[in-house]
Amino acid sequence: MAEVPAIELINITKTFGEVVANKDICLTVNRGEILSILGENGSGKTTLMNMISGIYYPDYGEIKIDGKAVEIRSPKDAFKHKIGMIHQHFKLVDVFSAAENIVLGLKEEGRFSLAKSITKIEAIASLYGFEIDPKKKIYDMSVSEKQAVEIIKVLYRGADILILDEPTAVLTPQETQRLFSILRRMKKDGKAIIIITHKLHEVVAISDRVSVLRKGEYVGTLKTKETNELELTEMMVGKKVDLNIERKEPVNTKDRLIVAGLRYKNREGVKVLRNVSFTAKAGEILGIAGIAGSGQRELLEAIAGLRRLDSGEIIYNNPKTELQEDLRNKTPMEIRELGVRLSFVPEDRLGMGLVGNMDIIDNMMLRSYRKGKSAFLERKAPKDLAEQIIEELEVVTPNASTPVRRLSGGNVQKVLVGREIAASPTVLMAAYPVRGLDINSSYTIYNLLNKQKENGVAVIFVGEDLDVLVELCDRIVVLSSGKVSGIIDGRNTTKEEIGLLMTKEFTEDKKKKKGGTKE
């Protein structure tokens, strides 16, 4: 094809001090094409994109737009060349409406008028199939709606080269499908789209070509049609990786946690949990599937003693005393004092799991500060634990006294999971433990969970990737609008079956109320 590419990178190199983040990278993207950039955490994907969007400036190399060499020194320059980037972490003002966020920072001609902007926003939305209410406040929006606002914001500024940094990391399968159909429509409209991801099946589903990076170096570009997941993984990791998750037959299963008839209403009076019952057995992994906001978070927090339930009971079979303890309406501390050990990996890892400003050792201490006999804190044990976790889980950090917020997402997750497992729990609850992690890190976490299962721990795993749930879990509880819509055997089920159960209550509710459900 003699077509001039929309954007062309030639031998881009960027170093931060001693570290080479990108080395001699060459890429091209044509108009009307979707290019995936695949690479593990720390392979330099985001650095590369930041150079296109003007946040960093390359040390060597050239960027050509429509065949002409350009200099992009600031986000404003990037915007001038019609490049728009949708960051992984949304940059939106919560109390503003969608429209206010979209026009923020623009200097349009004439008087400031939101009404005019709203008309333009609606035109863009209907062109590409976004479902959005420009007057809705951001704090009322779901993650996928916020993402739509971010994308429209970029389109509103006239961008025709779009870069999406891990856009699907926080979306449900259904939301991902919707995003993909929007991206396909943009592609048809002649936009050049770059999508950063490490989910292989998404790469295969959406992109025309794939460029692979490994440790800052350019490995190669393939046409998506002519490759497969296995080949891509090999390119990305540099060695053969077994994509199958090992699932051993559970042995010595015993009922560990019996949850019966949980009901919970939140502060707004919405029934979040509606008669949830299931049993978690020692020595098996129990998966929990559901659309985001179906009550997963509340369920786990209720078991961990962080929510006061309206009714129901949580019976814990204490392996030491062989007694049955009721965990319901006990504080987390009381649960500990009973000898009941629940390790909990919250969804929002920096918000509830770890303290960002404290270092790894101090974060270890959050679990162990009550140990030790003297009036002073015992620092030796947490320090050893921190170093052990860094070594065993291959956490990338300068040292154990680095503040946690300086670590990348995957490494933060490893620290959190590592700490919870180190408490040698009898029940381990993990909510979205692999969200935003690359393949290698994800498999490290899966292996950790499997090891816990072999050790006779009752593992409760809340996941969003249905492929993983089906492969990893022994049994799967499907939640739908706070109800258990099915408990199925992970060994003989399909993604589609789970997907159907996930939306069961939802469609039934819609029939009843016509107007849809309130989340």
Binding site for other proteins (CB under 8 A): 75-76, 79, 91-96, 100-101, 103-107, 112, 137, 139, 405-406
Q: Which CB atom, from 57 or from 369, has the smaller least distance to other proteins?
A: 57
218 beta partners = 213
Nearest to 45 by CA among 172, 170, 205, 199: 199
- At its nearest, how many Å lie between other proteins and the CB of residue 119? 17
Shortest distance in whole angstroms from residue 120 CB to other proteins: 15
C-beta closer to other proteins: residue 222 or 395: 395
CB of 77 to other proteins, least distance (A): 11
Q: Which residue lies nearer to other proteins by CB, 93 or 323?
A: 93
Closest CA to 300 of 323, 320, 318, 273: 273
Q: Which among 249, 170, 243, 221 is positioned nearest to 474, based on CA atoms? A: 249
For the chain, first and last CA: distance in Å?
49
Q: Whole-number minimum distance, CB 114 to other proteins, in Å?
A: 9
Place of tokens 């042995």: 251
> Nearer Cβ to other proteins, position 68 or 406?
406
**Total residues belonging to the chain:** 519
Rounded CA gap, 146 and 441, in Å? 27
Q: Which is nearer to other proteins, 3 or 108 (CB)?
A: 108
Phi, psi of 177, rounded to the nearest 5 degrees: -60, -40
Smallest separation (angstroms) from other proteins to the CB of 462:
26
**Nearest distance in Å: CB 405, other proteins:** 6
Query: Position 286: which residue type?
Result: L
Residues 375, 377: Cα–Cα separation, whole Å: 7
Minimum CB distance to other proteins smaller for 137 or for 336: 137
Nearer to other proteins, 85 or 273 (CB): 85
Q: Cβ 136 to other proteins, closest distance in Å? A: 12
Residue 68 CA to residue 236 CA, distance in Å, equals 31
Q: Whose Cβ is closer to other proteins: residue 139's or residue 369's?
A: 139
Least Å distance, CB 384 to other proteins, is 28
Tokens of 404: 């946690």
- Identify which of residues 93 and 243 has a Cβ nearer to other proteins in the complex: 93
Can you read off the two tokens belonging to residue 355?
Answer: 């303290």
Query: Does residue 222 contact residue 209 with C-beta atoms inside 8 Å?
Result: yes
User: Assign residue 153 a region: left if phi > 0, alpha if psi is -120 to 50, beta otherwise?
Assistant: alpha
Q: Kindly state the smallest distance separating residue 407's Cβ from other proteins, in Å.
A: 10
- Specify the residue, 270 or 423, whose C-beta has the smaller distance to other proteins: 270
What one-character DSSP code corresponds to residue 238? S
Residue bearing tokens 């299931």: 278
Give me the helices (H) in 247-289, please.
none
Cα–Cα distance for residue pair 409/350, rounded to 1 Å = 9
Residue 154, SS3 per DSSP: helix
φ, ψ of residue 378 in degrees (nearest 5): -85, 115
Nearer to other proteins, 104 or 230 (CB): 104
Cα–Cα distance list, 367 to 303, 359, 364, 428 (Å)? 18, 14, 6, 15
Looking at the Cβ atoms of 100 and 122, the one nearer to other proteins is: 100
Contact 130, 152 (CB under 8 A): yes
Quote the least distance from Cβ 35 to other proteins, whole Å.
24
Report the nearest approach of other proteins to the CB of residue 349 (Å). Answer: 14
**Residue 213 C-beta-side C-alpha neighbours within 13 Å:** 32
d(CA 272, CA 410): 30
Angstrom distances, CA of residue 428 to CA of 207, 212, 343, 489: 37, 35, 5, 20
Q: Letter for the amino acid at 94?
A: D
- Element containing residue 303 per DSSP (H, E): helix 296-303
Shortest Cβ 98–other proteins spacing (Å):
13
